[in-house]
A = this chain, B = another copy of it.
Amino acid sequence: MKLAVIGGGSSYTPELVDGLFQRLETIPLTEVWLMDPDKERLSITAGLSQRMAAAHGNPFTVHSTTDLDEAVTDAAYVVTQLRVGGCQARINDEKLGLRHGIVGQETTGVGGFACALRTIPRILDIAHGMERLAPRGTLVNFTNPSGIVTEALIKHSSIRSVGLCNVPIGMIMDIVEGLGCAMEEVELDYVGLNHLAWVRGCAIAGQDRWDEVFQRFLELAPQEWEQEAVCANMVEAMKSLNMGFNPYLQYFYATDAVLEHIKNKPKTRGEEVVEIENSLFEKYQQEELKEKPPELSKRGGAHYSTAAFHLISAIETDAKNHQVVCCRNNGAIPGFDDDAAVEVTAEISSEGARALPQHPPEPPIRGLMQFIKSYETLTVEAAVTGDRECAFQALLNNPLLPDATACRDVLNDVLEVNKAHVAEAFFG
């Protein structure tokens, strides 16, 4: 049984490999393949992973390759965690945003848009590779903007895929810690899109415990949103809606405060990440290191491997349990297309993820979800077709973008900067 990690040269790889050792009973892997076009980083992460495996008695072999086909052939699971264009592309997005006075964040605003245009063609290459070489495998997508990328997979590939994000499982962990219950007992009424979701209720062991859980959300707000002005906006909105928030909602409920903060930061988040990664990779190279270093937690992505293997083991064991994932809507959220990617509680079985039917989103959250979904749908289409008008209309439907003529300028800038990575048809 083979697992392939595309983008295996990522600094997250040790986190992922580490998670495997505890799960071998339900996920009896025999081979882990790390694939990355960046040979240098790949050799470092593969080396560390092999030392980690050895320290655990080599329950599986660790391979590295720069060949996509080799990586995915006969894989039962393919985890995608790529970053097309590397950190530099992310920094470009952030700076492009600043240049136009708008948010250039990795998944939201123009940054997420540019990232989607770069990433979707690559992800579809992987999926098409699997169609040929691992048609019964499951693609687990961590690549951002995860919701948009997952929608591209749903619409343009026949491969079974599930989108994952560490936010929902992080919320559950916070509840577990705060209320003293078991993770399996927590059922969130979680509804939305990736990075645009709301928690409307929570049952623990079948009992409604929303009042306490909501207090927990309020209590953790200052940690979630460290900027005071941002936090004030979020708490204002949370209290009115009586809902818990995915932290990325800050871009919509605290737009001005977030933008103010971004503009005043000495470095962009991407620049910070580069520094962290450099130091991590230095560490990874130390031959004596045989487990994931504690510094890795600074990189973000807590619960990343927990989420991945919680999902994979439920598929492997046909568990039919409930997990919050990003998947095909299929009628689960009324008012959204069947083939839209949504983030909700789904039943996980050997068939993959089946979104559970949800109460219709109420007007205070429905409209924003629908607006962003239009943006996402247009972005998927633009990324696949390379149609400039479609791309322009995507930006026109993003509330973080400016007037129509300014959207045109932003688009031209995005395409120019990312010429090497996006569909050629944009320039044809």
Give the segment of A78-86, A141-149, A395-403 that binds chain B: A395-403
> A293 in the interface, Cβ–Cβ < 8 Å?
no
Q: Mark A34-77, 1 if CB is under 8 A from B, else 0.
A: 00000000000000000000000000000000000000000000
> A374 in the interface, Cβ–Cβ < 8 Å?
yes
Q: Which B residue's beta carbon lies closest to that of A378?
A: B363
The A323-382 residues at the B interface (CB cut-off 8 A) are: 331-332, 334-335, 338, 356-360, 363-364, 366-368, 370-375, 377-378, 381
In whole angstroms, what is the CA distance A372 to B389 when docked?
A: 23
In whole angstroms, what is the CA distance A408 to B253 when docked?
A: 12
B363 touches A377 (CB 8 A): yes
> A257 in the interface, Cβ–Cβ < 8 Å?
yes
The A371-428 residues at the B interface (CB cut-off 8 A) are: 371-375, 377-378, 381, 389, 392-393, 396-397, 399, 402-408
Q: Which B residue's beta carbon lies closest to that of A392?
A: B240
> A233 in the interface, Cβ–Cβ < 8 Å?
yes
A406 touches B371 (CB 8 A): no
- Chain A's interface: helix, strand, loop or mixed, by majority? helix
In whole angstroms, what is the CA distance A367 to B393 when docked?
A: 11
List chain B residues, Cβ under 8 A from A399.
371, 399
Q: Mark A178-198, 1 if CB is under 8 A from B, else 0.
A: 000000000000000000000
- In the complex, what's the smallest C-beta–C-beta distance from A413 to chain B, in angstroms? 16
In whole angstroms, what is the CA distance A164 to B405 when docked?
A: 32
> A31 in the interface, Cβ–Cβ < 8 Å?
no
Known: A206-B206, A320-B208, A358-B357. A404 touches B253 (CB 8 A): yes
A367 touches B363 (CB 8 A): no
List chain B residues, Cβ under 8 A from A241.
393
Partner of A233, one of B237, B367, B405: B405
B255 touches A403 (CB 8 A): yes
> A254 in the interface, Cβ–Cβ < 8 Å?
yes
| A interface list, Cβ under 8 A from B | 206, 208, 229, 232-234, 236-237, 240-241, 253-257, 320, 331-332, 334-335, 338, 356-360, 363-364, 366-368, 370-375, 377-378, 381, 389, 392-393, 396-397, 399, 402-408
- The 26 listed contacts between A and B (C-beta, < 8 Å) are A234-B404, A240-B389, A254-B403, A255-B402, A256-B402, A257-B403, A331-B360, A332-B357, A334-B334, A357-B357, A357-B358, A363-B377, A363-B393, A363-B397, A364-B374, A364-B378, A364-B393, A364-B396, A367-B371, A367-B374, A367-B397, A370-B370, A370-B374, A371-B371, A371-B399, A399-B399
